[in-house]
């Protein structure tokens, strides 16, 4: 699938402006859409939208479900306007300086997840109880219709979250045996016993779904499409693995036999991610039904999707679950062309971007090219002193998506400040710059490239250094917290980006 020559901005919804300590799907999201409109951008890229697992630092790449939405993104103001919350039940953000509120520990500049989770879930439970009291017949019918339409994943997800609370948040593999192995009688008993908690989780998903669809419609009205993100793996502690164990490589006790990661490489000892790997042979026997269901839900929410760790569809590194050493793993064959043929047969298109950074072997490249999927290029990976280096923007091919930085890299300014003198001098020479506004130099270089799609981040547009970095891979503390303020979505930045976009015919 090829994009037209276009450009956009990567900003995860948690980083949007908003009054309740975290970006949400309300007024701050509309402000960002207005910014994109003024900046003449046609793509909004987001990270995965699922309900994050707190013990993983609320990474959107570790979620309780590959189908559900994150309730922390729900706009509480909308719920008040619908009569589900009183005005005095809406938490205040904090003072005008942006310092955390004394009571709520909210900040305009970063997310304090513990405080946000406590306050938001409390307000959402209040809204659910009020919904049951005051909702109109039409609202009740809409809620029931959503539960029926999404029942294939929603029923299991809502029960899973209710059971997580019932068992004090323990990993599902440690639950009592009848529940862990999904004995039908045990599940039926718990559905009755935990009916209120199950209904609450379904209400949160209905609310998220309604608000997201409204936001996406507003984006479409402005000519903005959503580029989402699909992690290849799901978290072990998820409704996905609990509800569909047959899709994964599990042992006789329902626990992972092997987990995902990457092998040791020059200069590192590899990584053990811990996600269960798939039983691709069994999935193939079903025509990849579980994956098609997952993609069907994804394409209900976004227009395109970045395939995280594209290498894993060609071959994947499987580490014995009882080993902590990535070197103990082995390469196993992925689903390859058969999987993408099944997807194309189901959806008639392959609206994907292949995340192929760091895995550029001939087999993976061949798989990507066979289905005409654009890869990725990031100038932060460039050797500026090597003539013709593939990550220098002037050498990008058309069939790629080019970024000034990503959610996993440093900001453009942080990257530049970390360069050694020789690389910095070579960068100056190649880009014809003195580096004073390196963030805009990289925007212009990426926008001028042949890449079919060019993407930058709000951090780079604002010229922020490493303090605004969104995520540092391999760490769990201090990530996914940065937020843009309303002041950051200003006309000067939008107009400058619009001029570059116009000049580069994007």
Separation in Å, CA 175 to CA 149, 172, 180, 198, 241 = 29, 5, 5, 17, 14
Asked whether the beta carbons of 354 and 343 are under 8 A apart, the reply is no
For the beta sheet containing 304-307, the strands, ordered from the edge strand earlier in sequence to the opposite edge, are 352-354, 304-307, 225-230, 43-45, 6-10, 453-457, 400-403, 375-377
Question: Which residues does 165 contact at the CB level (< 8 Å), separation at least 6?
Answer: 197
Question: Which residues does 268 contact at the CB level (< 8 Å), separation at least 6?
Answer: none
Q: Please give the Cα distance from 367 to 365 (Å, whole number).
A: 5
User: Which of 209, 224, 212 has the alpha carbon at shortest distance from 25?
Assistant: 212
Both tokens of 490, joined, read 């200003």
Asked whether the beta carbons of 315 and 360 are under 8 A apart, the reply is no
Neighbours of 382 (CB within 10 A): 19
Q: Please give the Cα distance from 454 to 41 (Å, whole number).
A: 10
Q: Which residues are catalytic?
A: 308, 355, 408
Neighbours of 246 (CB within 10 A): 12
**Collapsing DSSP states into helix, strand and coil, what is residue 423?**
helix
Question: Which residues does 351 contact at the CB level (< 8 Å), separation at least 6?
Answer: 1, 299, 303, 304, 305
HSE, side-chain direction, 13 A CA sphere, residue 166: 19
Q: Please give the Cα distance from 159 to 170 (Å, whole number).
A: 14
Q: Please give the Cα distance from 52 to 91 (Å, whole number).
A: 21
437-16-441 Cα angle (round to 5) = 15
Q: Please give the Cα distance from 302 to 228 (Å, whole number).
A: 6
User: Which of 317, 313, 178, 180 has the alpha carbon at shortest distance from 251?
Assistant: 180
Both tokens of 55, joined, read 């013990």
User: Which of 376, 381, 366 has the alpha carbon at shortest distance from 399?
Assistant: 376
Both tokens of 238, joined, read 């998820």
Asked whether the beta carbons of 387 and 380 are under 8 A apart, the reply is no
The DSSP symbol for 396 reads: -
Q: Please give the Cα distance from 425 to 93 (Å, whole number).
A: 44
**DSSP-assigned states of every residue in 163-206:** HHHHTTT--GGGS-HHHHTT-HHHHHHHHHHTHHHHHHHHHHHH
């Amino acid at each position: 699938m090829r994009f037209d020559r276009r450009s956009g901005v990567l900003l995860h919804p948690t980083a949007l402006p908003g009054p309740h300590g975290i970006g949400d799907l309300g007024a701050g999201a509309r402000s960002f859409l207005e910014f994109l409109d003024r900046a003449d951008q046609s793509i909004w890229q987001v990270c995965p939208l699922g309900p994050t697992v707190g013990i993983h630092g609320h990474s959107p790449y570790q979620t309780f479900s590959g189908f559900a939405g994150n309730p922390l993104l729900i706009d509480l103001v909308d719920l008040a306007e619908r009569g589900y919350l009183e005005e005095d039940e809406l938490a205040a953000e904090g003072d005008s300086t942006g310092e955390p509120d004394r009571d709520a520990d909210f900040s305009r500049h970063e997310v304090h997840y513990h405080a946000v989770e406590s306050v938001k879930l409390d307000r959402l439970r209040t809204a659910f109880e009020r919904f049951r009291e005051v909702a109109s017949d039409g609202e009740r019918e809409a809620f029931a219709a959503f539960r029926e339409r999404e029942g294939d994943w929603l029923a299991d997800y809502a029960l899973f979250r209710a059971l997580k609370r019932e068992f004090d948040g323990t990993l599902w593999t440690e639950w009592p045996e009848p529940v862990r192995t999904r004995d039908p009688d045990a599940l039926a008993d718990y559905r009755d016993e935990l009916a209120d908690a199950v209904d609450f989780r379904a209400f949160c998903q209905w609310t998220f779904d309604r608000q997201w669809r409204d936001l996406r419609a507003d984006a479409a009205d402005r000519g903005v499409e959503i580029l989402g993100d699909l992690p290849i793996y799901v978290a072990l502690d998820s409704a996905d693995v609990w509800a569909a164990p047959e899709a994964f490589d599990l042992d006789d006790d329902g626990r992972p036999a092997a987990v995902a990661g990457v092998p040791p490489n020059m200069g590192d000892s590899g990584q053990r991610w811990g996600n269960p790997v798939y039983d691709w042979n069994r999935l193939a026997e079903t025509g990849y039904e579980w994956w098609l269901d997952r993609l069907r839900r994804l394409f209900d929410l976004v227009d395109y999707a970045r395939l995280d760790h594209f290498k894993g569809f060609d071959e994947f590194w499987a580490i014995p679950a009882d080993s902590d050493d990535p070197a103990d793993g082995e390469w196993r064959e992925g689903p390859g062309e058969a999987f993408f043929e099944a997807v194309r047969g189901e959806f008639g298109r392959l609206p994907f971007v292949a995340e192929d950074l760091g895995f550029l072997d001939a087999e993976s490249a061949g798989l990507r090219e066979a289905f005409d999927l654009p890869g990725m290029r990031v100038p932060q990976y460039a050797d500026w002193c090597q003539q013709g280096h593939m990550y220098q923007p002037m050498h990008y091919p058309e069939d790629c998506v080019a970024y000034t930085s990503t959610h996993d890299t440093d900001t453009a300014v942080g990257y530049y400040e970390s360069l050694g003198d020789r690389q910095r001098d070579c960068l100056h020479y190649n880009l014809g710059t003195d580096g004073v506004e390196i963030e805009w130099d990289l925007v212009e270089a990426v926008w001028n490239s042949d890449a079919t799609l060019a993407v930058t981040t709000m951090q780079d547009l604002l010229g922020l250094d490493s303090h605004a970095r969104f995520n540092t891979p391999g760490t769990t503390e201090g990530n996914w917290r940065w937020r843009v303020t309303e002041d950051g979505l200003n006309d000067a930045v939008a107009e400058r980006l619009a001029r570059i976009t116009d000049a580069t015919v994007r």
